[in-house]
Structure 1
Amino acid sequence: MPTRHLTTIALIAAIYAALTLALSPFSYGFIQFRISESLTVLPWITPLAIPGLFIGAIIANLFSPVGLYDVLFGSLASLIAAWLTAKMPTRWLAPLPPVLINAIIIGILLGTVSGLPVTIPAAMLYVGIGQLIVCYGFGLPFLRLIERFRDQIPGARSR
C-alpha cells in the first residue's frame, strides 16, 4: 500500500479520535453528539476512510465509560457503518448507515450495560437522534465541501 494511502488512513483515524476526545462530554452516553461522526461520510468518497474510521473509533472508545464493550461493539459498529456508507448510491444516503447502525448497535449496548433505567428501544432512539443530527447536520455539508477536493484525496472514486 502506498505511503500516501497509509498516511490518509492514519490522518482520518487521528482526527476522529482527537475530535471525540476533545469533545468527550458530548461524545459518550445516551444522548451523544459525537461530532467526529460527521467524518463517517468519507467512505462515500474514498474507501481508505473505512480503516481510518475503524482505527479512530477503537482509539476513541478506549476512553469510553462503557469500557471494553464500546471498544469491541462500538468500533465494530463504526466499521460496518463505514463499509455500508461506501456502498451508498447517492450523497444523500451516505450519512444513513452510521445513523442506523449506531442507533441499533450502540442503543442495544447502552440499554444493556449502562445500568441506567432506560429501555433498549429508548436508548436506540436517543443514540439515533444524536447520530441523525451529527451525520446529516454536519456530515452532509462536510461531504458537499470535501467533494470539491475529490481530485486531491487519495483513493477517491468518481461518482
Structure 2
Amino acid sequence: MSTRHLTAIAMIAALYAVLTMALAPLSYGPVQLRISEILTVLPYFTPLAIPGLFIGAAIANLLSPVGFYDVIFGSLASLIAAWLTARMPRPWLAPLPPVLVNAVIIGILLGTVSGLPVTVFAAMLYVGLGQLLVCYGLGLPFLYLLRRFRDHIPGARPKR
C-alpha cells in the first residue's frame, strides 16, 4: 500500500469523524442525520474508502451517548455497509447498503441498550429514515458529482 493510499484512507477517516463530531446534536440518538454519511458512497469508487469509513466511524462513535456499544457495533455497521457499497453494480444502488445496514444494526442497538424510551422497530425506522434522507438526498448527488472526477480518486476502479 502506497503513502498516497494511506493518506487517502486517513483523510476519509478524518473527514467522517470531524463531520460527525462537529454536527454532534444531529449525529447521535434515535433520530440522527449524520451528514458524514454522504461519504458512504465513496466505496463505489475506491476500496480505500472501506477502512477509511470504518476508522472514521470508530473515532466519531467515541462521543456517542451509547458509548462502547456504538464504537463496536456502529463501526462494524459502517464496515459492512462500505463493503456492500463497493459491490453495488449501479450508482443509484450505492447508497442502499448504508441505509439498510445502519437501520437494522443501529436500530437494534438504540432500541436495546440506549436507555431511550424507543422500541427496536421505532429506532430502526428513525435511523433508516435519517439514513435515507442523507444517503440518497445528499450522497447520491455527491456520487454523480464524483463520477466526473473519478480519475483523481486514489485507488479508483474502472468505470462501471
State if a TM-score over 0.5 links the two structures: yes
2: CA distance, partners of 1:54 / 1:94: 17
**Does 2:85 correspond to 1:71?**
no
Mapping 1:62-101, distance limit 5 Å? 62-101=62-101
1:119 alignment partner in structure 2 = 119
> 54-63 or 115-124: which moved more?
115-124
Q: How far apart are residue 38 of structure 1 and its match?
A: 0.7
Question: Which 4+ residue blocks in structure 1 deviate beyond 2 angstroms?
Answer: none
Q: How far apart are residue 117 of structure 1 and its match?
A: 1.9
Mapping 1:5-154, distance limit 5 Å? 5-154=5-154
1: CA distance, partners of 2:3 / 2:116: 45
TM-score normalised to the size of structure 1? Answer: 0.99
Secondary structure in 2 aligned to 1:115? coil
Matched residue count: 159
TM-score normalised to the size of structure 2? Answer: 0.98
Paired letter, 2:59: I
Q: How far apart are residue 147 of structure 1 and its match?
A: 1.1
1:97-146 Cα deviation digits (max 9, x unpaired):
00000000000000001112211011000000000000000100110111
1: CA distance, partners of 2:95 / 2:137: 10
> 89-98 or 117-126: which moved more?
117-126
2: CA distance, partners of 1:156 / 1:28: 31
Q: How far apart are residue 48 of structure 1 and its match?
A: 0.3
1: CA distance, partners of 2:66 / 2:115: 10
1:72-120 Cα deviation digits (max 9, x unpaired):
0000000000000000000000000000000000000000011122110
1: CA distance, partners of 2:153 / 2:41: 14
Secondary structure in 1 aligned to 2:86? helix
The CA RMSD measured in Å over matched residues stands at 0.5
